[in-house]
């Protein structure tokens, strides 16, 4: 046990040993027994390591320290206010001399005759609020998120990523604004301002750009201090986009607010039983997105409670992405209790396959992929058989085969009522006969939120949790929740041929080129995703989610226009659905 006479050096060795053992995964009791320290001491040592690294583990010599070797609390407080007075910029000019780093704080302290190490100076700067933590999330952004897109483009254009944030710093009665720029490598440049406006904000960015000697790719965390119009101003001036990070209420929640979807899904899989952080504030009323979210979650839970063997159909599109996100939410902290099923026509875009495998793994879903092998053996392709036959054999028949093979009794689909006229009348719980047929005239009435999931053996139900969402709701929700989507939704240079008035991407060499057709690189994106030979691209410069939403809101044709299968025959979707197409 911790003998009070243990010499400091020996004690510190034991403390270091304890931390090492603990990090290696030994239990507290084992560590305590092995090194001869009490459990609370081991805990304290580990905590010290977690906050200050190995340097923090050792305890300081006991007794009153010699007056010369350390700075008293009183002195520290005085130094802080002196430094703040020294660095605060009161006019609108911000140049490189006004940019401070922890290293400069160290230099200044040395000049003041305070002898300390750079590490200790850094600790003081942190304690004084002059080196706030970076708003950058620890995790890499998931594929398809807006942040990931932004970072990729910034790297391509050789621009320096910086996170811009603002903080309030009080000293005595004075209140200043600390403007920070964090680089990816951990450098924090800051300026202390008595007040902030557009000129000062832009001057700060300019100074940071001069300091790093590289054009910036700023990611700005909005706050009460930083206004959006200033950011727009910077974009206009530099002709480069800025990524906006959501505003945070206070610094204690800043990290969790900024966490990307990828990280929140990680927490979904660790079935933690501890409340994390402080509780979220109460809502006064629900917004339309909150109501839609709650309804979709309600629907998913009803299915899981009543179905024997449910499955979620995954099409890799944006609606599927939202459905997956909602499934994670509905069953948290448990993982979603059903697999994903992708009915693969083998003609999807390569990027879709990559995204599919990655996202299923990240979110912890079991992924089942079914292909209509008979159809594939017969060489069914959209080029030789036409879109109608291709869809029927590989998609509709493939889906029926998969449902029969795994004996799924309920299948979630991402269809929305606003997509198409015949969908507007479909129920949320859409009953299918044992031959998978939809009978529009004998649909079960659906009242209140009471869903009837009863069925006989062999019969099945398709459930559409997104029935009441519109396309705009989907995009707004993806934006609000930072849900990852396939990069094909964003504009990029892609090889395109024009055929029958549609721009088709040449995604692989299975596409036979007609006479006179040469793929041309064009900046395009896709508003809807399906089999690549059947999915028309649109010319676009939309590289961010907000660009996409903007483009969509200003568009003049509806979403399915790009999808060739709906044009086949009039009332075509209704016919397909009766036959079992989703």
Site residues (CB under 8 A) for another protein, limited to 250-269 = 256, 264, 268
CB of 254 to another protein, least distance (A): 14
Taking a C-beta distance cutoff of 8 angstroms, is the pair 124, 76 a contact?
Answer: yes
List beta partners, residue 176. Answer: 169
List 29, 39, 119, 555, residue binding another protein (CB under 8 A): 555
List 1, 66, 305, 514, residue binding another protein (CB under 8 A): 305
One symbol per residue from 478 to 517: x for binding another protein (CB under 8 A), - otherwise; what is it?
-xx-------------------------------------
CA dist list (Å): 264 to 244, 280, 482:
19, 15, 10
Taking a C-beta distance cutoff of 8 angstroms, is the pair 412, 323 a contact?
Answer: yes
From CA 125, how far away is CA 105, in angstroms rounded? 7
DSSP 531: B
- Asked if 467 interacts with another protein (CB under 8 A), we say yes
- Asked if 271 interacts with another protein (CB under 8 A), we say yes
One symbol per residue from 421 to 460: x for binding another protein (CB under 8 A), - otherwise; what is it?
xx-xx--------------xx-xxxxxxxx-x-xxx----
Stretch that binds another protein, among 129-137, 279-287, 388-396, 486-494 (CB under 8 A): 279-287
CB of 277 to another protein, least distance (A): 6
- Name which of 14 and 576 has its Cβ closer to another protein: 576
- Asked if 146 interacts with another protein (CB under 8 A), we say no
Map the footprint of another protein across residues 20-49, applying CB under 8 A: none
From CA 488, how far away is CA 524, in angstroms rounded? 9
Taking a C-beta distance cutoff of 8 angstroms, is the pair 532, 505 a contact?
Answer: yes
Kind plus residue range of the DSSP H or E element containing 366 = none
- Name which of 16 and 453 has its Cβ closer to another protein: 453
- Name which of 398 and 536 has its Cβ closer to another protein: 536
List beta partners, residue 497. Answer: 504
Taking a C-beta distance cutoff of 8 angstroms, is the pair 249, 242 a contact?
Answer: no
Stretch that binds another protein, among 340-348, 504-512, 515-523, 555-563 (CB under 8 A): 555-563
Map the footprint of another protein across residues 221-250, applying CB under 8 A: 228-229, 232, 244
| Total Cβ atoms within 10 A of residue 536 | 22
Could you tell me if residue 489 is left (phi over 0), alpha (psi between -120 and 50 degrees) or otherwise beta?
alpha
- Asked if 120 interacts with another protein (CB under 8 A), we say no
Stretch that binds another protein, among 161-169, 282-290, 307-315, 373-381 (CB under 8 A): 282-290
- Name which of 183 and 528 has its Cβ closer to another protein: 528
From CA 297, how far away is CA 290, in angstroms rounded? 11
CB of 7 to another protein, least distance (A): 42
- Asked if 302 interacts with another protein (CB under 8 A), we say yes
- Asked if 198 interacts with another protein (CB under 8 A), we say no
Q: What's the token pair of residue 303? A: 């299915």
Dihedral of alpha carbons 367, 398, 437, 426, sign: positive
Of 290, 284, 302, 287, nearest to 448 by C-alpha is: 302
- Asked if 549 interacts with another protein (CB under 8 A), we say yes
Q: What's the token pair of residue 481? A: 């929740």
- Name which of 448 and 518 has its Cβ closer to another protein: 448
Dihedral of alpha carbons 389, 395, 396, 398, sign: positive
From CA 544, how far away is CA 577, in angstroms rounded? 34
Q: What's the token pair of residue 312? A: 């979620």
- Name which of 74 and 229 has its Cβ closer to another protein: 229
CA dist list (Å): 334 to 185, 256, 337, 400, 528:
36, 20, 8, 29, 31
Map the footprint of another protein across residues 154-193, applying CB under 8 A: none
Taking a C-beta distance cutoff of 8 angstroms, is the pair 402, 426 a contact?
Answer: no
Map the footprint of another protein across residues 400-419, applying CB under 8 A: 417-418
CB of 411 to another protein, least distance (A): 18
- Asked if 561 interacts with another protein (CB under 8 A), we say yes
Pairing relationship of beta strands 367-370 and 243-245 according to DSSP bridges: unpaired
CA dist list (Å): 415 to 288, 311, 314, 429:
19, 15, 11, 12
List 297, 367, 368, 369, residue binding another protein (CB under 8 A): 297
List 151, 164, 292, 352, residue binding another protein (CB under 8 A): 292
- Asked if 541 interacts with another protein (CB under 8 A), we say no
Map the footprint of another protein across residues 335-354, applying CB under 8 A: 335
Map the footprint of another protein across residues 316-335, applying CB under 8 A: 328-335
List 210, 249, 472, 521, residue binding another protein (CB under 8 A): 472
CB of 488 to another protein, least distance (A): 21
Q: Binding-site residue total for another protein (CB under 8 A)?
A: 85
Taking a C-beta distance cutoff of 8 angstroms, is the pair 481, 261 a contact?
Answer: yes
CB of 360 to another protein, least distance (A): 18
DSSP 449: T
Of 327, 321, 333, 328, nearest to 303 by C-alpha is: 327
- Name which of 161 and 268 has its Cβ closer to another protein: 268
- Name which of 88 and 534 has its Cβ closer to another protein: 534
What backbone torsions phi and psi does residue 105 show, to the nearest 5 degrees?
-65, -40
CB of 242 to another protein, least distance (A): 10
List beta partners, residue 72. Answer: none
List 25, 273, 379, 518, residue binding another protein (CB under 8 A): 273
CB of 443 to another protein, least distance (A): 7
């Amino acid at each position: 046990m911790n003998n009070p006479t243990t010499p400091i050096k020996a004690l510190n060795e034991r403390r270091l040993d304890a931390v090492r053992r603990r990090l290696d995964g030994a239990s507290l009791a084992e560590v305590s027994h092995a090194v001869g320290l009490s459990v609370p001491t081991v805990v304290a040592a580990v905590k010290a390591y977690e906050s200050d690294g190995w340097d923090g583990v050792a305890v300081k010599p006991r007794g009153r320290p010699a007056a010369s070797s350390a700075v008293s609390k009183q002195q520290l407080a005085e130094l802080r206010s002196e430094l703040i007075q020294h660095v605060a910029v009161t006019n609108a000019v911000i140049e490189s001399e006004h940019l401070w780093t922890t290293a400069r704080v160290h230099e200044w302290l040395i000049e003041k005759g305070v002898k300390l190490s750079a590490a200790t100076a850094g600790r003081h700067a942190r304690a004084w609020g002059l080196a706030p933590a970076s708003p950058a999330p620890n995790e890499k952004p998931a594929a398809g998120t807006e942040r990931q897109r932004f970072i990729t483009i910034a790297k391509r254009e050789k621009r320096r990523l910086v996170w811009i944030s603002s903080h309030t710093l009080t000293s005595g009665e004075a209140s200043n604004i600390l403007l920070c720029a964090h680089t990816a490598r951990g450098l924090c440049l800051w300026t202390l301002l008595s007040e902030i406006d557009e000129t000062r904000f832009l001057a700060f960015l300019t100074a940071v750009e001069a300091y790093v000697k590289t054009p910036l790719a700023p990611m700005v965390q909005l706050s009460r201090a930083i206004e959006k119009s200033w950011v727009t101003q910077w974009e206009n001036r530099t002709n480069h986009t800025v990524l906006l990070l959501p505003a945070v209420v206070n610094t204690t929640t800043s990290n969790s607010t900024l966490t990307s979807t990828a990280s929140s899904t990680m927490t979904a899989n660790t079935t933690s039983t501890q409340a994390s952080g402080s509780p979220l504030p109460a809502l006064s009323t629900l917004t339309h997105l909150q109501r839609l979210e709650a309804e979709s979650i309600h629907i998913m839970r009803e299915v899981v409670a009543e179905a024997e063997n449910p499955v979620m159909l995954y099409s890799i599109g944006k609606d599927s992405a939202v459905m997956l996100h909602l499934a994670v939410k509905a069953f948290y902290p448990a993982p979603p209790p059903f697999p994903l099923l992708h009915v693969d026509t083998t003609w999807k875009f390569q990027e879709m396959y990559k995204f599919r495998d990655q996202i299923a793994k990240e979110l912890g879903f079991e992924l089942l992929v079914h292909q209509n092998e008979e159809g594939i053996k017969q060489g069914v392709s959209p080029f030789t058989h036409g879109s109608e036959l291709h869809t029927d054999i590989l998609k509709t028949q493939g889906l029926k085969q998969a449902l029969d093979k795994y004996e799924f009794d309920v299948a979630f689909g991402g269809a929305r009522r606003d997509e198409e006229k015949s969908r507007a009348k479909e129920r949320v719980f859409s009953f299918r006969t044992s031959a998978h047929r939809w009978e529009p005239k004998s649909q079960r009435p659906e009242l209140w939120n009471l869903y009837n999931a009863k069925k006989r053996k062999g019969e099945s139900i398709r459930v559409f949790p997104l029935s009441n969402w519109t396309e705009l709701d989907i995009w707004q929700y993806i934006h609000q929740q930072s849900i990852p989507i396939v990069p094909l939704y964003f504009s990029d240079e892609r090889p395109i041929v024009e055929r029958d008035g549609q721009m088709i991407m040449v995604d692989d060499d299975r596409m036979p080129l007609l006479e006179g057709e040469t793929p041309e690189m064009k900046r395009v994106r896709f508003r809807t995703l399906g089999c690549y030979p059947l999915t028309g691209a649109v010319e676009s410069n939309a590289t961010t989610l907000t660009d996409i939403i903007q483009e969509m809101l200003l568009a003049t044709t509806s979403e399915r226009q790009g999808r060739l299968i709906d044009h086949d025959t009039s009332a075509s979707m209704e016919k397909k659905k009766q036959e079992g197409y989703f």
